[in-house]
Structure 1
Amino acid sequence: MTTQPSSSRPSQADLDAAMLLLSRLGISPGDLQQTAPAGPPAPTFAEYIPVVSEAVSAGTRRVYASYWNRVLAEWGHRRLDEPDPTEIKRLAEHVKANVVTRRNARGGRSAAEHLIAALRCLYHHAVADGHLAEADNPARKVAKPRRLPSTRRAVPDTRLAEINQVAATTGDDPALDCLLLRLHTETACRRGGALALRPADLDPDQCLIMLHEKGGTVRWQPVSPTLMRHLQQHVEERPAAPTTPLLRYRNGKTDHLSPL
């Protein structure tokens, strides 16, 4: 007897028999398409936040830790798939209304924005780990507060001159203070970028310095011949190995120069 190939279509008799069986069971073909195998329940916030906290960078953890703690206090016992977008928005408004007031406060907008960002980070990992589908991510459906225009302004030339004057005539190491100010003025580098500068990062031929800044960013920055000369002079007067911090006190220590 010839065996029917498995790739061939079922006969009409087979289809009729299958439809009859489904009809007797009270099941429609649509029910079979919509039914998906049930997965394990999503973890609670108390279970999952420590997992994500260990997976992110130290900088991300520092920014989001206080907001994850707030989520733990409010929803620690709940599963990730329980809160809806409205509840997230309500929590953001609660954080916004109860933010600690400071001189540079802007109505709690930043706190609400960071809370939503912290939840987006949490749910991004939850989607990647298969705890819920991207379409079920409630944090993506909550808009962040609109940012107000920045209040930061450049330091006026007269004020900058006063700062340099004070640095040059006071303090326990005016030479180092003035060099730091000149470096920041010319390059606008972050504090961490200045303190990570090494003798090996100087290119006197092209008047360039290599800056290692936030987030692992590395860039070559042009500087004036005057600044380059003073940086080289600093290395000569306060010797440092090529791959150690360039900026240091007269005794060679850099203990109190570590970035925040």
Structure 2
Amino acid sequence: MTADPERVATARALLVHLGLNAADLTGTDPPTVPTVADYLSVVDAAASPGTRRTYGSSWRRMAAALGDRRIDAVRASDVEALMRQATVGARSRRNSRHGRHAGEHLVAAARAFYNRAIADGYLAAVDSPAHRIGKPRRLPNTRRALTSDELCDINAAARSGGNDVILDALLLRLHTETACRRGGALALRLIDLDTDLALIRLTEKGGTQRWQPVTPMLADRLAEHARARGAVAPTDALLRYRNDHPASYRRYDLLWARIGRQLSWVAAQGISTHWLRHTTLTWVERHFGYGIARAYAGHTDRRGPATTTYIKADLHAVATALAALTGQPHPLASRHDVDLPAI
């Protein structure tokens, strides 16, 4: 039997007037509701490393401003005020969008925080203050595919200085060949490199994994780099500093800041590693079609037209695209782009 919405609203209003909630009517003791500061440790422990890195600063901002409040006492206006503060106080970066992304991240972090509280039974979904306000509308992306000349200039600048030219050159080559994300590159371990078949195993967003072709030349260079810098165990990081420590996100910031000082247009346009991904995938889509570009990018989402179900590409198709992109043969590349079954 479907409940009458008007009666539900009346009942809810009466419960609020009496200072009760639905849990009070079940005959069981409701869980003690923690404060924002106390509950943050629970949320942080349950989050993946990527989620923690993305939302950590926003969660700390919530704890600093609302830490002594019970999580069910925070209002939508409190979250919105924090969003405004994050927008105004956002640090100016090369790719800054006037704090818009900072505000969006704050709302997303608050929603992730309250999703955990809902799952733990501290409040109902309709009572989440973070879900009662809208995220700032995302602006159109300013990234574009780089031209061949621009890519050559970037690589030349990277090789012309810095305290670790070898690592910088490897990073740019790796991202240009594979269109992988920074997290995927930094997560590479010795065991994730197959020099025989010229493949790397990428672990990226959402814990997804895939084998991605690289040129045999790059596979050999990666193996030499890792061994020369102390990688011995299968789980040792592949990309490493000269002191044998694993490379970190900081290396990318230093690299692009250095390139920007030599190429003013890089700094002006806020060009970053993700532009290399955009460049490679644009080229693959133009020459090999959407299906192969989708596989090349590692996209596994099911959104979009139903037709995407039938245009999946395999590893051999991705290797063929890589061979055409680099002009170097690959052991898994196919001689023919399309093999039609006999009918």
TM-score normalised according to structure 1 size: 0.68
Match of 2:138 among 147, 152, 167: 147
Which residue of 195, 210, 226 maps to 1:219? 210
Q: How far apart, CA to CA, are the structure 2 residues paired with 1:95 and 1:174?
A: 36
| Bigger relative contact order (CA 8 A; separation at least 6) | 2
Q: Between Structure 1 and Structure 2, how many residues are aligned? A: 226
Q: Does the CA-based 8 Å contact 2:72-2:123 persist in structure 1?
A: yes
The question of 1:83 aligning with 2:83 is answered no
Pairing 1:189-200 to 2, within 5 Å after superposition:
189-200=180-191
1 CA distance for matches of 2:75 and 2:196? 59
The structure-2 alpha-carbon separation of the partners of 1:107 and 1:157, relative to structure 1 and needing over 3 Å to count, comes to: same
Question: Is this contact kept in 1: 2:159–2:168, CA < 8 A?
Answer: yes
Q: 1:257 aligns with which of 228, 247, 252?
A: 247
Residue of structure 1 in register with 2:270 after alignment:
none
Change (3 A) 1:45 1:204: closer
Which sections of structure 2, spanning at least 5 residues, go unmatched? 1-21, 251-343
Matched ranges for 1:82-161 at <5 A: 82-161=73-152
Which residue matches 1:74?
A: 65
Shift of 1:259: 4.5
Structure 2 CA distance for partners of 1:211 and 1:158, relative to 1, 3 Å: same
Residue in 2 aligned with 1:6? none
- Give the counterpart letter for 1:219 in structure 2: R
Equivalent residue letter for 2:50: G
Q: 1:207 to 1:46 in 2, by over 3 A?
A: closer
Match of 1:20 in 2: none
**Maintained 8 Å contact 2:117/2:123:** yes
CA deviation vs aligned residue, 1:181-203 (integer Å, no higher than 9, x gap): 32221112234433444454344
Q: Which segments of 5 or more consecutive residues in structure 1 lack a partner in the other structure?
A: 1-33
From the CA coordinates, give the structure whose radius of gyration is larger: 1
Match for residue 209 of structure 1?
Answer: 200
- Deviation, 1:229, is 5.1
Distance 2:86 2:238 in 1: 43
Structure 1 residues 142, 186: closer, same or farther in 2, change over 3 A? same
1:148 to partner: Cα distance: 0.4
Pairwise CA distance, 1:134: 2.0
Q: Which amino acid aligns with 1:163?
A: I
Aligned partner of residue 255 in structure 1, secondary structure: coil
